A = this chain, B = another copy of it.
Amino acid sequence: MKAILLVAHGSRRQHSNDEVRHLAGKLNQRCSNEFPIILLAFLELAEPLIPDGLQQCIDKGASSITVLPYFLNTGRHVAEDIPGIVSEFMQQSPVDIQIASHLGASDMMLELLASVAMQD
């Protein structure tokens, strides 16, 4: 069973974390055919953290997990922190985990930016 673990940075502002939770809920509705399990985790400052989120996916029956970084750039978090946490988790719990590209790498980002700029 395929899973997505959406991974956001996490914020001290609860409202900001709730925004991502809301988005994860909508993603669940959008992609439940392809990914029966869609959960959310945070790199820091909010819970669940990434290892707990991965474990939750496994507990729900995931055989394959796509970690989807909710990040715009390949900063340190995307380039080092998330791969490091995932790699450490895989050493203890062998499971098929892929890390998807950060969002700024998507061709759709340009259209999203154009759309937001023109709304104003």
Binding site for B on A (CB under 8 A): 4, 6, 8, 11-13, 15-16, 19-20, 23, 26-27, 30-31, 34-35, 66, 68, 70-76, 79, 98-101, 103-106, 108-120
Taking the closest CB of chain B, its distance from the CB of A98, in whole angstroms, is 5
Instruction: Assess the A108–B119 pair: CB atoms within 8 A.
Output: no
In the bound complex, do residue A117 and residue B72 qualify as a contact, i.e. CB atoms below 8 Å apart?
Answer: no
Instruction: State the oligomeric state as a number of copies.
Output: 2
Question: Taking chain A's interface residues, is the majority helix, strand, or loop, or is none over half, making it mixed?
Answer: helix
CA distance A26 to B26 in the complex (A): 29
Q: A13-B76, A112-B112 are in contact. List 19 more A-B contacts (CB 8 A).
A: A20-B104, A23-B109, A23-B113, A26-B110, A27-B113, A27-B117, A30-B110, A30-B113, A30-B114, A34-B117, A34-B118, A66-B120, A98-B120, A100-B117, A100-B120, A103-B112, A106-B116, A108-B108, A108-B115
